[in-house]
């Protein structure tokens, strides 16, 4: 990794869900410590990830709460949303061929959407942080690690 350049830290949906819904999880404290670091240093997630979180929370939140969550999410975690988090924008245009190429590498449709949403924003020293590292390791051209592995790399 290029030591002179701060890595771009891409964050998967499950990191946010663990923080928001699973506070009794065995990994919650590590997850929270990782997110505390992100709140200071910033991170990136895709609009696909944000919509996934909103979809899961939709079972417990009303329309107004979801709308507020959608707008507040980037500030809550100090995130950049790629390509955008404008409610009136469109989803990124994906070519079915690209999605299928990702699926051929053993990815779910949702993971393939995330991978293709972040690919244009990846730099050589980027990291992808997820609790499902094995799902992304062969599908992304960057290092894929868990929040625990990220925290260990800081020590």
The pLDDT value recorded for residue 108 is 93
What CA–CA distance (Å, rounded) separates 9 from 11?
Answer: 6
- SS3 sequence of 56-107: HHCCCCCHHHHHHHHHHHHHHHCEEEECCCCCCCCCCCCCHHHHHHHHHCCC
What CA–CA distance (Å, rounded) separates 125 from 5?
Answer: 8
The pLDDT value recorded for residue 46 is 96
Cβ(127)–Cβ(150) below 8 Å: yes
Please state the domain extents for the chain.
Answer: 9-154
Regions of the chain where pLDDT drops below 70: 1-5
CATH architecture of 9-154: 3-Layer(aba) Sandwich (3.40)
The pLDDT value recorded for residue 5 is 66
What CA–CA distance (Å, rounded) separates 134 from 145?
Answer: 9
């Amino acid at each position: 990794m290029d030591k002179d350049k701060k890595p771009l830290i891409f964050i998967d949906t499950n990191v946010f869900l663990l923080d928001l819904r699973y506070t009794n999880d065995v990994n919650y404290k590590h997850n929270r410590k990782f997110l505390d670091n992100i709140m200071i240093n910033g991170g990136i997630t895709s609009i696909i990830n944000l919509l996934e979180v909103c979809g899961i929370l939709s079972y417990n939140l009303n329309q107004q709460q979801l709308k507020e969550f959608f707008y507040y999410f980037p500030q809550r975690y100090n995130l950049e949303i790629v390509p955008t988090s404008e409610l009136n924008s469109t989803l990124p245009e994906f070519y079915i061929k690209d999605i299928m190429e990702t699926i051929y590498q053993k990815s779910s449709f949702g993971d393939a959407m995330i991978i293709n949403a972040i690919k244009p924003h990846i730099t050589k020293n980027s990291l992808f942080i997820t609790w499902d590292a094995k799902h992304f390791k062969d599908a992304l051209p960057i290092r894929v690690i868990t929040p625990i592995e990220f925290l260990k790399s800081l020590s």
